[in-house]
Structure formats: C-alpha cells, structure tokens
Amino acid sequence: MRLAMSRAEVGDEQKGADPTVSRLIATVAGLLGKETGIFLPSGTMCNVISVVTHCGRGESVIMETQSHLMRSEAGGLSAITGAVPEVIEGEDGHFTAEQLTRHFQPGSRYTPRTVLVAVEQSCNMAGGTVWPTAKLAQVAACAKSLGMNTHMDGARLFNAVVASGESAKVHCQGYDSVWVDFSKGLGAPFGAVLCGTEEFMSRAWAWKHRLGGAMRQAGMMAAGCLYALENNIERLEIDHANARLLNDGLKRLPFIKVKHDHPESNIVFFNLVGTDLIPETFLKRLLDRGLKIGFVGTGYRAVTYADITAVHINDALQIIASVLDELDEKDLIIPSQTTTGAAPRSCR
Ligand SMILES: *Cc1c(COP(=O)(O)O)cnc(C)c1O
C-alpha cells in the first residue's frame, strides 16, 4: 500500500484534477451503484456533510440512539448542521419501518419537519451487527413514502458485505447518500468516499470546501484506498473469524459476559460480572501485560483488523484469563452483599 501511494499520479484535487482521486471515486460509485462521489479525509466529515446537505436548520434527522452520528462526532450534528436529532431505540442497532413511521413528523407550527433518516451498516456500538438487507430496503421504502431523504453511514459497509454475502449495491439501494471508510478494516491510513447523485454531490462539494476538506495532491491517499479496495475486502473474513475466535474464548472465561453469542463481523463487546473492578483498573492490568482493549460506556470493545492474527487472539485470551485469575477478594462482589438490598459498593 505504501508503495502504491508513493507511485500515485497526482494533481490538484480541489480542481477535480487529481487522476487517482477521480479513479477512486469512479470505482467506489460503481461498487455502490451511485452516480458519483467526493473524496473526503474522514467518515465524520462524510456524515456531517451529508446531514447538512440533506437538512435545513431546524429540520430533523432520525437515527438510532447509539449511532456514531449521534454519540461520537463531538456534537458536529448540532454544531455545524443545525438539524434536530431524533433518536430511535433500536435493537442491535437496527430499527423497523414501523418505528420510523412513529418517529416521523411532517412538521407543523410546533414540530420540526423530519427530512432525513440515517442508518449505520454495520452498527458499531451494537457490536458490529449487520442490518439484514431486507430491513434496510423496508426502512428506505418507508422513508421515501413519507417524503424523506435516506443516508447510510457505511463506515464498515464492506464488513457487512462480506458477512452477508450480498453486494454493496444491494445494501445501499434506496439510500440517497452513502459513504465508506478506508481507515477502518480496509486498512488505509486515511480517506472516505461519499456517494450519491450528481446533483446531491455538487451541493455536498460546497460543504467539502467550506469545511476545509478540499485538498491538493490527495492522489497519494486515494492510491492507498484503491489498494485497499483491490486487496483488503475479501480478507475481512479473517477479521470476522478472529472476532468469533475471541468471542468463543471469552465465553469460556469466568467473570465474562459477552454481548453476542456470535459476533456478526469484527467487533466484540463484553462485560465483567461478579466483580466490581472498574474499567480503568481492568484495562490497566491488561495493558501492563501488553493487551489494549477499549471501554466505551456500554462495555469492553475489541475490534479485529488486518494486523491481528489468530495467534494474537490466543495471546489476548491468555492475558485476559491471567488477569481474571489474579482477582483477589476485594475485587469480587460477595453474593450476600448483593442480596441484602444494600447499595452497590461503587455508590458508597
Ligand atoms: C469510525 C466511524 C465513523 C467516523 O469515521 P472517521 O473516518 O473515523 O471519521 C463514522 N461512523 C461509524 C459507524 C464509524 O465506526
């Protein structure tokens, strides 16, 4: 990938004159079945530009409550777009057309008009869950019947493609805007491509420029993304297999409750039970032995990717097992304390 980047033919991306960026856009638009696209530095910028292009200030956008757009973009939705977030409590990150209908508001003297629905494929905070394509199509069709626009955050769309065996086009059919990230499982250092119609993308381009996302010799970065498309999609299956391996190993350990019996893609969530070890302490003990895992509010989160092999997974499981093995009495919740109705220790 580094070699491909160093050899990239480049030009002025702001002027649409970088041949490698143009080739990347045409390739991604083709894969997603959309007219055209724009190259952006990050997925976060794709999301915020999509919302601001679809929605006016004071109009509302519906999304799942744990979505990246809602929780993990430093409030960019409010800070930049002026749109009103309306959240749906989904299941595994998905929601139904029926829920969408219930949250939709046509707008009145009092209520914001709902103009956009955003879905995430796969669902990051739900544990890499994959929307069934039929459900995606139902939500899109329902949104259209209500006169709404549709957006797909496809940060890990190719993980969903590999997990489901269905093409990217099928996943994002019915979605007016959709983007894919190259800096996640696809393993490039940088870059995302947002796609849609010519008309939508020309309005989005103004926001790309306003936010400072119009670039110069970005072909070097686009070459890394093209390399990823050619070489790193099929291998995502290895990441998924490694996530299953990790999950299966975790299920056999004491004090661990995994979120899903079978992870659908490359994300594993788990929690500790029977111990009140706080996340900072647990993570520090793991890190002291060389294992880095995240904690994201709803649980511990481990993500597999190209640099992680099955050997690493076994090492990780051994490290976790050894930390759990060394829990001493003060780390454990004594059953009698939890059954007397006393306040949890952490609240005292
Ligand atoms: C990572 C991620 C983003 C943001 O992408 P960046 O390239 O890190 O800005 C958006 N949505 C989801 C679901 C993500 O996982």
Distance CA 170, CA 288 (A): 45
Query: What number of other Cβ atoms are within 10 A of residue 9's Cβ?
Result: 13
Tell how far the Cα of 155 is from the centroid of ligand 1, in angstroms: 5
Residue 8 reports pLDDT greater than 50: yes
The minimum-distance atom of ligand 1 relative to the CA of 181 is 7
179: which strand partners? 153, 194
Using a 10 angstrom Cβ sphere, with 0-12 exposed, 13-18 middle and 19 or more buried, the burial of residue 224 is: buried
Tens digit of each residue's pLDDT (9 = 90 or more) over 14-64: 999 999 999 999 999 999 999 999 999 999 999 999 999 999 999 999 999
Could you tell me what percent of the chain has a pLDDT over 90? 93
The minimum-distance atom of ligand 1 relative to the CA of 120 is 13
**Within 6 Å (CB) of ligand 1, which residues are found?**
42-44, 47, 68, 120, 124, 153, 155, 181, 183-184, 192
Give the mutation target among 68, 179, 303 for probing the ligand 1 site: most ligand atoms within 8 A of CB: 68
pTM: 0.94
Give the mutation target among 40, 77, 125, 184 for probing the ligand 1 site: most ligand atoms within 8 A of CB: 184
For strand 192-196 and strand 177-181, is the pairing parallel, antiparallel, or unpaired? antiparallel
- Range name among 138-142, 277-281, 330-334 with the lowest pLDDT average: 330-334
Minimal-distance CA residue to ligand 1 atom 6: 43
Distance CA 120, CA 181 (A): 12
62: which strand partners? 86, 117
List the structure tokens of 250.
Answer: 């975790």
Helix (H, G, I), strand (E, B) or coil at 149: strand
Q: Which amino acid is at 95?
A: F
The minimum-distance atom of ligand 1 relative to the CA of 122 is 13
The minimum-distance atom of ligand 1 relative to the CA of 47 is 10
Span between the terminal Cα atoms of the chain, in Å = 53
Distance CA 231, CA 237 (A): 13
- Ramachandran class of 250: left when φ > 0, alpha when ψ lies in -120 to 50, beta otherwise: alpha
For strand 256-258 and strand 84-88, is the pairing parallel, antiparallel, or unpaired? unpaired
Tell how far the Cα of 192 is from the centroid of ligand 1, in angstroms: 9
Distances (CA, A) of 285 to 9, 80, 277, 293: 47, 40, 11, 11
